Amino acid sequence: MVISKMKGSEMGSKGQSMIISSVLLILLVVIVTFIIIGFVVPFVKNQLSGTDCFAAVDKVKIINSAKYSCYNSSKGGEMNVQIRISDDDIISGFSIELGGASTNSYEIKDGTSDSDVKMFGGNYDDLLEIPGKNEERTYVINSSVIPESVRVYPRLEDGRSCESAQEVNKIISCE
């Protein structure tokens, strides 16, 4: 039976190599974790930012009333649309879309004007206002034909327009 003798320096180098390999494995795991976080966190933030539209869609509504959301053919063709905003914290404006054979979209923001949109009782040159929290405003849109539908698309504070909309398909006459 042959017994080999190990010197003290040989045992120490095996112990040191195991410690170094453990430290290198831990370092590798930390580096890979930071690389993954660098890609995953921005991706998740981008995906979650789209959820703001889900909250905004229910906050902007068309009030379908015979007096304030109707088509007035006697004044050369004007579509009245009454909009209510129930929470203005995330909403900077909205777009109103009149649909039919041709679709026209009108962007409504505070302090802007549009030659085809005016506030109810105002002039086409006046600045537009969006409703405040739990308020309603009526917008008059110059339209020569009665639209088949009216849609409203919220615009968020960061300027993005939401794809989801509230829609009214039954357009009544103001008269």
Cross-strand bridge partners of residue 98: 104, 150
Residues 108, 94 contacting (CB under 8 angstroms): yes
CB atoms within 10 A of CB 86: 13
What's the average model confidence in pLDDT over 19-48?
Answer: 87
Can you give the pTM of this predicted structure? 0.67
Q: Answer whether 52's CB lies under 8 Å from 91's CB.
A: no
- Residue range 104-143, pLDDT digits in tens: 889 888 888 888 899 988 888 888 988 888 889 999 998 8
Structure confidence at residue 6 as a pLDDT band (50, 70, 90): low
Q: Which of 122, 127, 151 is nearest to 60 (CA)?
A: 151
Residue 26: the pLDDT is: 95
Match domain 53-168 to its CATH number in 1.10.10.10, 2.40.50.180, 3.10.20.30, 2.60.40.10.
2.60.40.10
Gap between the Cα atoms of 41 and 7, Å rounded: 52
Quote the pLDDT of residue 32: 93
Q: How far is CA 63 from CA 52, 53, 166, in A?
A: 22, 20, 10
Contact 141, 116 (CB under 8 A): yes
pLDDT at residue 41 is higher than 80: yes
CA dihedral of 38, 44, 47, 49, whole degrees rounded to 10 = -90
Here the tokens at position 89 are 């914290």
Helix (H, G, I), strand (E, B) or coil at 60: strand
pLDDT tens, position by position, 58-87: 788 888 877 788 888 886 788 999 999 887
| C-alpha pair distances (Å), 127 with each of 43, 115, 120, 123, 137 | 39, 10, 12, 9, 13
Structure tokens at 133: 């929290």
In three-state secondary structure terms, 18 is helix
What share of residues in the chain are helix, strand, coil (percent, to 5)?
A: 25, 30, 40
